[in-house]
Structure 1
Amino acid sequence: MFTFIMITSAILVNVRSQPTLAEAGTQMFFYFAVATIGFLLPCVLILSELGSACPYEGGLYVWVKGAFGEKWGFTAIFLQWIQMTILMVMVLSFIAGTILYVFDYGELESKILILVISLVVYWGATLVNLRGLKASGRISTVCVILGVAIPAITIVVAGCAYLLAGNPVQLDLTLTAQNYIPDLSNPANLAILAAFFLPYFGIEGSAAHIENLKNPSRNYPLALIFVVFFCLFVNLLGSFSIAAVVPQSDISLIAGLMQAFEIFFNTFSLSWIVPILAIMVVIGSIGEVSTWIIAPIRGLFRTAKAGTLPLWFQQSNEHGIPRNFVIFQATLVSMFCIIFALIPGVNSAFWMMVALTTHVYLIAYFIMFLTAIKLRYLRSKHTESEFYIPGGERGLYIMCTFGFGSVLIVGIVGMFFLLLTEFVSTLPSPDVTNTIGIWYPVFLIAGMIVIVAIPLLVHRFKKPEWFAAGGFVDPEDGPAEAS
């Protein structure tokens, strides 16, 4: 269970987003409350119920398949996988840039160095994952402790020491509605609200390993609860510490994470700690990369063995890892890294792809919430489990409604407002807005249709011999098939 908690934490928890969240000032408490109640809490309860009912390898794929059949199970896990494949380039770029920052390399814009570091990190993590889940779990555990827990505790302790020493708080804590409740009619505030939802994306990723968890029907909900409190501790207390020490006008979203920490620790005359913290944050991000390498693939591997994908994708090594799938994914990520690093003017196109795949991920969440409703109906007739969302059907519908609402907020804001506000400064390429213009929403809608169509077409034209030669019979087809 400890290893499972570390794997989930490696996926969900990091300190990279703290400066972004701190820039909201005292209004961060409102944003945190809305994001936690509107998205994180529904996800935890829904995932707990789904995991308790169907504690089988594959996670999202198994649940959606049990509710709506193989086609939509494959579609949901494909959407999760493609989003993480594209987003991995951004995380790798962050790791490479931070390493260059630590060693004070004079040419931070050197794309060749960023490319080399990105490829070394990703292929190194890939080779570790090929050695099996135990090796991957150890990497996740070490990375979470060194790269998330210790930096987070350091920031919170430093913030508490700052306040206890009687230093001025760089926040107006006066209890007024204007201080704590933002004007959501302002598109900029809507964009910030969407940013508070994004750190919680991916919480369902570790469910791919649920079958390896002892007594998953009981321990999976407990593991999620622990990770949620850890995530809130890191995000809320860490962001508040930064906001209390660093004036809001000095929290530069463009400058980046390390510059924010540099200002933070210079206040305590502890500038020497910033490079150490930077290395720790890199370690935490490497753990995130390593964990995401195998998580969606386990669901894709299961659907491949059921005959949805060619035989080449159905092969595994002596450790039970789908080696061909892992190598294919590493090659694809490498290709995206090379394109991003070497082709001039590709930055805008890449960030549009990140936005597109994020919206595609919202579709996967929408399917997951529908799955919870469908499986509750099936379970009430055919199965029992150790966890139900409190409040019966009404509680389930309330949580799903919150989830649907959160997905719509992030989707609409991202499509029509996000790149039209000052929050665009969070993107490394400031010329994105000039490039995108009015075609941005059109690109997102058309791109979402194309990406969703890919798994549907693959499923439609799959060949019978893929299943026959694979010889795989899914032992746990889910409540729909079991009934």
Structure 2
Amino acid sequence: MAVAAVISFDTVGQIATGGGEAATWTAAIALFFLVPYALLFAETGAAFPQEGGPYVWVKLALGRPAAALTTLMYWVTNPIWLGGSLVFLAAQTWDGFVFHLGSGTVADYTFKLLFVWIAILTAVVSLRRGKWITTVGAAAKVLALAVFTLTAVIYGVRHGFHGLAGTSFAPTTTGFLALVPILLFAYVGFEAPNAAGEEMHDPQRDVPAALGRSATVAACCYLLPVLALLAVVPAHQVTGIGGFMEGARLVFGVYGAAAGPLLKITAVMFVFALLTQGSAWMIVSDRMQAMAAADGGFFTRALGTFHPRLGTPVRTNLLSGAVATVFMLAAMRLAHGDAADVFAVVLTVAVTTLLLSYLVVVPALVLLRLRRPDVPRPYRVPFGTRGFLCCAALVYAWILIGSWSALFPGVLEQLFGIDYVFHDVWGVSRAAFETFTLGTVALLLTVGVVGVAVARRQDGLPAAAGEPGAQPEGTV
């Protein structure tokens, strides 16, 4: 589940647009962010394995209202992402490599709607069955990345690694500020399976081990394909929305007549992996949001009802589908025929909402560590409380920088005297960009505050049978 959710096909090309230093920053952030981040969540996830994950942690540390608002920001990232960058990348890939869809056509709309709702229906079916879909997707994702990396090496040996000519891997401030938000977005999410903590056989044992394995796999699945892509494709030719598949089109030439069919198979795998990636996030984040509702923290407990037979929060799943659909339609109107520009903007919105949630989640972990030392902790961060606090401070600093850079791109660059022409970078004006991002955040906060207020008014009313959330079907 963690591999399916965290390894993001849509960010590989976006990271590679940073050129040679993208590989340097990918490795550096893996070491100085991913490792302490994984340590923090491994300890907390094993100590507090209850269903709901981050919602439970923030509630225990800061109370129900803070937990409800944080969960809203965490959850809504995923339907925004599903209806934004994931569906746009899937449609672009299908259009270019499998079957022509066109832009803004009936076929284009139909494909995108089917993509969104198949991902939602995968989350609706019982976890006992749905997990196999995401597992196959995770395997397809790792296989596709491994085949691409190996093929790129073969291509480079035969034709030369021309992409590396004149490429500098030296880190720069400009590259740092441009890549931090997208790299943090790529690496976060390993705590997501904790949302289904009570559906694991032994979460206190499984969570730390799963985090360690998943973090290692994720770091390799970002760094190696980015290096391979940059080795064969000059950085100025790499695009965020088509980088991976365009690189595959080039390197698959080593297979001769078989290149066309293999490329089409890879494109189908690519789209399927994107679909299951969205499904995996829907499975875990919808459970978090459903737990917040069932606990009386967001509008009505009815929203948190788990289906008695499927064991899934069907109402929250359907709400996610509706949000993803609305966002997809809004993004298509914003695109005005240019998919690359809207791809970057909608991905930034998803980055922003997710990173903002961690500004509350990380302090909650610290408070739980300090206030509840008596809770059994099967796994502990090295060097005890001091080590935990150092990891938390380092992670929080990264999140602050990433959040600011995602919300207000270009501001830190100007402080450092770096030229930053906003329209050239984003393809839209700063006013349009800030309206879309800040407007989305303001709307979400308004919805969250209203949801908490409504839930408080209903808090004294008895819940209908099953509304607090029936136990999901079986264990996995």
TM-score bucket (shorter structure):
0.7 to 0.9
Match of 1:33 among 27, 46, 62: 27
Residue number in structure 2 paired with 1:228: 215
Tell me which residue corresponds to 2:306.
316
Equivalent residue number for residue 331 of structure 1? 322
Q: Is 137-146 or 209-218 further displaced after alignment?
A: 209-218
Shift in Å at residue 243 of structure 1? Answer: 1.7
Alpha-carbon distance in 1 for matches of 2:200, 2:189: 18
Which of 123, 128, 140 is residue 129 of structure 1 equivalent to? Answer: 123
Aligned equivalent of 1:3: none
CA contact 2:89–2:241 (8 Å) conserved in 1: no
> Is residue 258 of structure 1 aligned with residue 245 of structure 2?
yes
Distance in 2 of aligned mates of 1:166 and 1:423: 40
Equivalent residue in structure 2 for 1:271, among 246, 256, 259: 259
The 1:466/1:83 distance shift into structure 2, 3 A limit, reads: farther
Aligned: 1:101 with 2:96: yes
**Where do 5+ consecutive residues of structure 1 fail to align?**
1-6, 476-483
Q: CA deviation at 1:451?
A: 2.5
Aligned-partner Cα distance in 1 for 2:301–2:248:
49
Counterpart for residue 363 of structure 1: 356
1: CA distance between counterparts of 2:147 and 2:21? 24
| Corresponding residue of 2:441 | 448
Residue 215 of structure 1 deviates from its aligned partner by 1.5
Kindly state the Cα deviation for residue 247 of structure 1 after the two structures are TM-superposed: 3.1
Distance change >3 Å, CA 446–CA 93, structure 1 → 2: closer
1:387 aligns with 2:382: no
Of 30, 34, 42, the residue aligned with 2:36 is 42
- Name the structure 2 match of 1:92: 87
Correspondence for 1:375 among 354, 368, 383: 368
Does 1:298 pair with 2:301? no
In structure 2, which of residues 140, 143, 146 is the aligned counterpart of residue 150 of structure 1?
A: 143
In the alignment, is residue 402 of structure 1 matched against residue 402 of structure 2? Answer: no
Which amino acid letter does the alignment assign opposite residue 270 of structure 2? V
Deviations 1:316-373 (A, max 9, x none): 3212212222222222322333344468859888965653443232221111110111
Q: Superposition RMSD on alpha carbons, in Å?
A: 3.2
User: Alpha carbons of 1:70 and 1:402: their partners in 2 closer, same or farther (altered >3 Å)?
Assistant: same
Q: Which amino acid aligns with 2:267?
A: A
Residue identity opposite 1:99 in structure 2: W
Q: What TM-score comes out, normalization by structure 2 length?
A: 0.85
1:283 CA displacement: 1.0
- TM-superposed CA distance for 1:456, in Å, is 3.0
Tell me the percent identity: 19
The Cα offsets for residues 135-176 of structure 1, whole Å up to 9 and x where unpaired, read as 210100111112x1211111222233345x4653336599xx
So what's the TM-score if we normalise by structure 1? 0.84
1:69 aligns with 2:63: yes
Q: Could you say which residue in structure 1 is the equivalent of 2:193? A: 206
Distance in 2, matches of 1:264 and 1:426, equals: 28
Q: Report the counterpart of residue 52 of structure 1 in structure 2.
A: 46
The superposition leaves residues 203-250 of structure 1 with CA deviations (integer Å, 9 ceiling, x where unpaired) of 332221122222111210110111111112211111112222223343
Shift of 1:111: 4.0
Counterpart for residue 480 of structure 1: none
Q: Residues of 1 paired with 2:160 and 2:97: CA distance?
A: 30
Of 112, 120, 132, the residue aligned with 2:114 is 120
Cα distance per residue 1:281-331 (max 9 Å; x no partner)? 111111112112221121222222222332431433212212222222222
Counterpart of 1:110 in structure 2 is 104
Aligned partners of 2:165, 2:383: CA distance in 1, in Å? 36
1:25 and 1:339 map into 2 onto residues whose CA distance is 31
| Conservation of the 8 A alpha-carbon contact between 1:340 and 1:346 | no
Are the counterparts in 2 of residues 307 and 466 from structure 1 also a CA contact under 8 Å? Answer: no
Question: In the alignment, which residue of structure 2 is the partner of 1:478?
Answer: none
| CA distance in structure 2 between the partners assigned to 1:37 and 1:446 by the alignment | 34
Partners of 2:10 and 2:334 in 1: CA distance? 27
Inter-CA distance 290–426: structure 2 relative to 1 (3 Å threshold): farther
For 1:467 and 1:35, locate their aligned partners in 2 and report how far apart those are by CA, in whole Å. 48
Amino acid at match of 1:103: V
**Cα contact 2:137–2:276 (8 A) shared by 1:** yes
Whole-angstrom CA distance in 2 between matches of 1:111 and 1:256: 24
Q: Is the 8 A contact 2:300 2:458 kept in 1?
A: no
Partner residue of 1:9?
3
Report if the CA contact (8 A) 1:170-1:248 is conserved: no
- The aligned length equals 455
Query: Distance between the aligned counterparts of 2:462 and 2:274, measured in 1?
Result: 41
How many angstroms apart in 2 are the aligned matches of 1:442 and 1:81?
Answer: 21
